[in-house]
Amino acid sequence: MQHRRPRLTKKTKTLTAAGVALAAAAGVTVAQAGESSKKCTAFDTITLGKYYVNNNLWGQDKGTGGQCVWDNSAAGSTVSWGTDYTWANNSKGKDSDVKSYAGTVLGWHWGWKVDRAKTGLPLRVGDRKPVKTSWEFSVSSDPGTMNVAYDLWLHTKNTADWQDQPTDEVMIWLNRQGGAGPLGTKYGSVSLGGAMWDIYQGDIGWKVFSFVRRANTTKATLDLNDFTQALVRRKLLSDDKFVSGIESGTEVFKGTGRLDTKAYSVSVG
């Protein structure tokens, strides 16, 4: 299965009445008990220190349903948050179309919502500075077709803003369900962070590299620099690129499910 990522814009969209109704039928509504901070409007955000949680429904035009996000806690660089969703294809959509990618954002994501001085980004790939991260999460027993992944955005300059399209995208898939698969074709494999990963490469107007973990996990401690350097060694990525943003969440193709991030952190440099 493949997916494509369209250019994002600053335009904010809201759920249709039909989408809200379908979400309600699956229990994905603002009124669901529990999370007082729950937000269900497309592209709603919740700031958590140097990060923000983004209800990123960039592919909603190809689906019916809805999605919500909420925050649980923040302590220093460690945050906890969650998302639940229900998505089905509409007349324009198919199983290979991603409907959403709700997640945390550190740094750039078509602009800067949090002061970049607080994020430690952009970071030049050739500087080889560590980007230590840990993530512990759980997925529901019926998550549909989806993945849980990091998404690194790269540019040729360290001053990228909302109008600057990335040149490279590096995804790191920790978990996938329901037959979800990455864009492009398999290039090779590599051992990093105590696990084996298959490397895929594709192009959607910018280059997309995906590291897909062979065995699903719900807990990872990684240095994201190891992944960019793996691409540099293979001459797939140049040293002079800048990591501008780090997004981490769940790409949903279809189905009903939930992701609970128990603890998540990123430390740059």
Residue 7 in any domain: the answer is no
Mean pLDDT lowest among 25-29, 96-100, 122-126: 25-29
Confidence of residue 37 (pLDDT cuts 50, 70, 90): confident
CB-based burial, 107-145: b 16+ in 10 Å, e otherwise: bbbbebebebeebbbbbebeeeeebebebbbebbeebbb
Nearest to 142, CA basis, from 22, 218, 251, 255: 255
Residue 177 in any domain: the answer is yes
State pTM to two decimals. 0.88
Residue 77 reports pLDDT greater than 50: yes
Residue 183 in any domain: the answer is yes
- pLDDT tens digit sequence for 109-157: 999 999 999 999 999 999 999 999 999 999 997 889 999 999 999 999 9
CATH number at residue 123: 2.60.120.180
Range of the domain at 130: 17-268
Residue 1 in any domain: the answer is no
- pLDDT tens digit sequence for 162-216: 999 999 999 999 999 999 999 999 999 999 999 999 999 999 999 999 999 999 9
Mean pLDDT of 102-115: 97
Residue 249 in any domain: the answer is yes
Residue 21 reports pLDDT greater than 90: no
Residue 39 in any domain: the answer is yes
Average confidence score pLDDT of the chain: 89
Residue 10 in any domain: the answer is no
The residue among 79 and 36 whose pLDDT is bigger is 79
Distance separating alpha carbons of residues 137 and 259, to the nearest angstrom = 7
Confidence of residue 29 (pLDDT cuts 50, 70, 90): very low
Confidence of residue 2 (pLDDT cuts 50, 70, 90): very low
Residue 11 in any domain: the answer is no
**How many domains, the chain?**
1
Mean pLDDT lowest among 5-9, 82-86, 104-108, 177-181: 5-9
Confidence of residue 36 (pLDDT cuts 50, 70, 90): low
The residue among 88 and 31 whose pLDDT is bigger is 88
Residue 22 reports pLDDT greater than 70: no
